[in-house]
């Protein structure tokens, strides 16, 4: 399963890229807004340059012609750009158009298996079901992932299931068990995945015991 970072924060992106565990990035206007001191266009361009893998950049137009215009501009930022398009009729039309031009798309704000199926039929590279927002209103986001994975498997659909709106590490484990292609995570969730209290406690003991060995043999070294 691929891991994307769901952030527009350059420092976080650099930090986790260095660990070799991040395959791509997803952004949206709300994430750009969080980076208040940075020009959003510069920020998007910088992220595209910094990252080897796919970077999703979201359009904000509603009208078809404008969606295409924005999409073509964003696609020009780099070969690794994936144009993020909110689910709608006009969005599907745009995905169909962009797919024929070999431009990759990520269909965002997916809340039903029907929406995912239609986005895939239109040619989407990724569909982004938002599981946390479904959980927030008392639905079960992971059931949606299970449905989409099953449908895509039944028909050999190559559109990738990109699990979005992840709220905690258990969402990641369950998405992986269900066979999702990608999860996109806020940096805090990735950090929680790295950490385990028993790892820290175990390390303290190993270091203390090495200290004891060193006391017995002051010349001890690797
Ligand atoms: C990713 O593509 C989405 O924009 C993001 O995961 C949404 O997450 P949120 O529901 O926490 O805003």
- Model pLDDT for residues 66-81, shown as the tens digit of each residue: 999 999 999 999 999 9
The answer to whether 51 touches 80, Cβ cutoff 8 Å, is: yes
> Quick one: pLDDT band at residue 206, thresholds 50, 70, 90?
very high
pLDDT tens by residue, 68-126:
999 999 999 999 999 999 999 999 999 999 999 999 999 999 999 999 999 999 999 99
pLDDT averaged over every residue in the chain: 98
Considering only the top CATH level, what class is 2-192?
Answer: alpha beta
**Closest by Cα among 168, 161, 123, 158 to 2:** 161
Distance 190 CA to ligand 1 centre (A): 14
What gap in Å lies between CA 174 and CA 130, rounded to an integer? 14
Write down the pLDDT at residue 70. 98
Percent of the chain with pLDDT over 90: 99
Helix then strand then coil, in percent of the chain rounded to 5, is 55, 15, 30
In a 3-state reduction of DSSP, which class is residue 167?
Answer: coil
The answer to whether 124 touches 83, Cβ cutoff 8 Å, is: no
Does the pLDDT at position 37 exceed 90?
A: no
Distance 153 CA to ligand 1 centre (A): 25
> Quick one: pLDDT band at residue 158, thresholds 50, 70, 90?
very high
Element (H, E) at 157: none
Pocket of ligand 1 (CB under 6 A): 6, 26, 28, 108, 128, 130, 132-133, 164-165, 184
User: Residue 164: exposed, middle, or buried by beta-carbon count in 10 A (0-12, 13-18, 19+)?
Assistant: buried
Q: What is the token pair recorded at 20?
A: 């070799």
Does the pLDDT at position 164 exceed 90?
A: yes
Distance 137 CA to ligand 1 centre (A): 15
What gap in Å lies between CA 13 and CA 187, rounded to an integer? 8
The answer to whether 127 touches 161, Cβ cutoff 8 Å, is: yes
In a 3-state reduction of DSSP, which class is residue 136?
Answer: helix
User: Residue 151: exposed, middle, or buried by beta-carbon count in 10 A (0-12, 13-18, 19+)?
Assistant: middle
């Amino acid at each position: 399963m691929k891991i994307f970072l769901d952030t527009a924060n350059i420092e976080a992106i650099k930090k986790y890229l260095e660990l070799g565990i991040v395959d791509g990035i997803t952004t949206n206007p709300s994430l750009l807004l969080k980076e208040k001191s940075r020009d959003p266009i510069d920020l998007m361009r910088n992220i595209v340059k910094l990252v080897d893998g796919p970077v999703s950049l979201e359009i904000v137009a509603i009208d078809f012609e404008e969606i295409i215009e924005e999409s073509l501009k964003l696609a020009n930022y780099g070969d690794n750009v994936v144009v993020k398009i909110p689910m709608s009729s006009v969005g599907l039309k745009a995905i169909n158009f962009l797919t024929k031009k070999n431009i990759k798309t990520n269909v965002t704000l997916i809340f039903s298996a029907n929406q995912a199926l239609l986005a895939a039929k239109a040619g989407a590279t990724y569909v982004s079901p938002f599981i946390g927002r479904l959980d927030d209103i008392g639905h079960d986001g992971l059931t949606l992932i299970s449905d989409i994975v099953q449908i895509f498997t039944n028909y050999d659909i190559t559109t990738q299931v990109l699990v979005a709106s992840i709220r905690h590490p258990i969402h990641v484990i369950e998405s992986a068990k269900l066979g999702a292609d990608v999860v996109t995570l806020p940096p805090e969730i990735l950090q929680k995945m790295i950490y385990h209290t028993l790892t820290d406690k175990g390390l303290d003991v190993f270091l203390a015991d090495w200290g004891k060995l060193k006391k017995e043999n002051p010349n001890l070294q690797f």
